[in-house]
């Protein structure tokens, strides 16, 4: 693979306490002859104090000349960074400082593996993304991409929300419940799994549609082809708004008659791999650690 020269390190300050892990990573990478830049993956609270001995740069300033991004945190940190990195055409390497960390390649005890980046000793794993557009009447009110899932829920309101789901314009299910999850294979081990959906290999081609606590026993998870266009609409008997969120980001309030059009994105997130292990190796370790 391409030899790496410049690396952006993006630590989650709420996970990497006092930035201990990223400090160790900087030493390893610089000792290997790599140029490093520290960038926060998101804005921190105003009352959060950054250490004075670390110099942080702005992500948009460093992206044009960077070869890759190393994220330090849980899967949420990787998800947050995936959109920016993918649009910039830069791969991501995840270092897990969270709990599950399905997408992370390294644990925080395996930082010595970072030395291999300088020699180009790594592979790239392409992950499918979803493209989401929300239509209200004839207007587009929302557009985004995501790596894990699109979730449409009732929010904090106690009553159920009524949804109709179509595949290529043909109705697949209609139900009342807490909502629906439309996920990629990567997202199959996240919220969709908790809602009763199957585990799907990340390399598989498909779109998962998983109802959340449906009040209709006939409504079950569907694994559709990645060529399908999924439409989710609040039906006319919906008595409350629903809320749409992509990869756990800021929620959009949907109104009755709004349509969320979800399909495979033309963009793919590229994850860096340093270890020769299968999806099932990862699942076995992560699930066992949660017991």
Q: What is the pLDDT along the chain (291 residues), one digit of tens a residue?
A: 777 899 999 999 988 888 999 999 999 999 999 999 999 998 888 888 888 889 999 999 999 999 999 999 988 899 999 999 999 999 999 999 976 678 899 999 999 999 999 999 999 999 999 999 999 998 999 999 999 999 999 876 667 888 999 999 999 999 999 999 999 999 999 999 999 999 999 999 999 999 999 988 778 899 999 999 999 998 866 556 789 999 999 999 998 889 999 999 999 999 999 988 888 887 777 665 655
Task: Please list, in sequence order, all residues whose beta carbon lies within 8 angstroms of the beta carbon of residue 247, skipping any fewer than 6 positions away.
Answer: 79, 80, 82, 83, 146, 147, 148, 149
Cα distance between residue 193 and residue 184, in whole Å: 12
* CB neighbours of residue 25 within 10 Å: 24
Query: pLDDT by residue (tens digit) across 22-63?
Result: 999 999 999 999 999 999 998 888 888 888 889 999 999 999
Run of H or E residues at 207: strand 207-212
DSSP 56: B
Q: With H, G, I as helix, E, B as strand and everything else as coil, classify residue 215.
A: coil
DSSP 158: S
Q: Which residues are catalytic?
A: 75
CB 129 within 8 A of CB 202: no
Cα distance between residue 286 and residue 291, in whole Å: 9
How many C-alpha atoms does 105 have within 13 Å on its Cβ side? Answer: 23
Instruction: For residue 137, give both structure tokens.
Output: 């009447």
Task: Please list, in sequence order, all residues whose beta carbon lies within 8 angstroms of the beta carbon of residue 93, skipping any fewer than 6 positions away.
Answer: 68, 69, 70, 71, 105, 106, 117, 122, 271, 272, 274
Considering the entire predicted model, what is its pTM? 0.92
Cα distance between residue 24 and residue 56, in whole Å: 16
pLDDT score recorded for residue 290: 57
* CB neighbours of residue 283 within 10 Å: 14
* CB neighbours of residue 182 within 10 Å: 27
Q: How far from 138 is each of 20, 134, 145, 233, 258, CA to CA, in Å? A: 51, 10, 21, 14, 10
DSSP 178: S
State the virtual CA torsion across 280, 283, 287, 289 in degrees, nearest 10: 100
- Radius of gyration for the alpha carbons in the chain, expressed in angstroms and rounded: 20
pLDDT score recorded for residue 187: 95
CB 122 within 8 A of CB 271: no
CB 62 within 8 A of CB 40: no
pLDDT score recorded for residue 102: 82
């Amino acid at each position: 693979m391409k030899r790496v020269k410049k690396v952006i390190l993006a630590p989650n300050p709420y996970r990497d306490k006092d930035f201990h892990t990223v400090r160790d990573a900087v030493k390893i990478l610089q000792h290997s002859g790599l140029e490093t830049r520290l960038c926060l993956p998101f804005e921190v609270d105003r009352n959060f104090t950054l250490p004075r001995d670390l110099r942080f740069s702005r992500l948009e300033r460093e992206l044009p000349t960077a070869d890759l991004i190393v994220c330090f945190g849980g899967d949420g940190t990787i998800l947050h960074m995936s959109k920016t990195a993918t649009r910039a055409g830069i791969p991501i390497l995840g270092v897990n400082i969270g709990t599950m960390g399905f997408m992370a390649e390294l644990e925080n005890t395996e930082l010595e593996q970072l030395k291999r980046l300088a020699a180009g000793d790594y592979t790239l794993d392409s992950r499918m993304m979803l493209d989401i557009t929300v239509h209200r009447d004839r207007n587009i009110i929302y557009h985004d991409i995501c790596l894990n899932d699109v979730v449409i829920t009732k929010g904090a309101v106690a009553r159920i929300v009524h949804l109709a789901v179509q595949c290529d314009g043909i109705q697949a299910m209609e139900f009342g419940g807490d909502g629906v999850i439309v996920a990629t294979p990567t997202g199959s081990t996240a919220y969709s799994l908790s809602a009763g959906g199957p585990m799907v290999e990340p390399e598989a081609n498909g779109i998962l549609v998983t109802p959340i606590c449906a009040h209709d026993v006939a409504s079950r998870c569907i694994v559709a082809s990645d060529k399908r266009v999924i439409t989710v609409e609040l039906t006319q008997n919906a008595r409350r708004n629903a809320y749409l969120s992509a990869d756990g980001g800021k929620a959009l309030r949907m109104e009755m008659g709004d349509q969320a059009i979800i399909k495979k994105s033309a963009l793919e997130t590229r994850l860096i791999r340093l270890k020769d292990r299968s999806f099932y190796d990862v699942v076995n370790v992560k699930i066992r650690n949660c017991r």
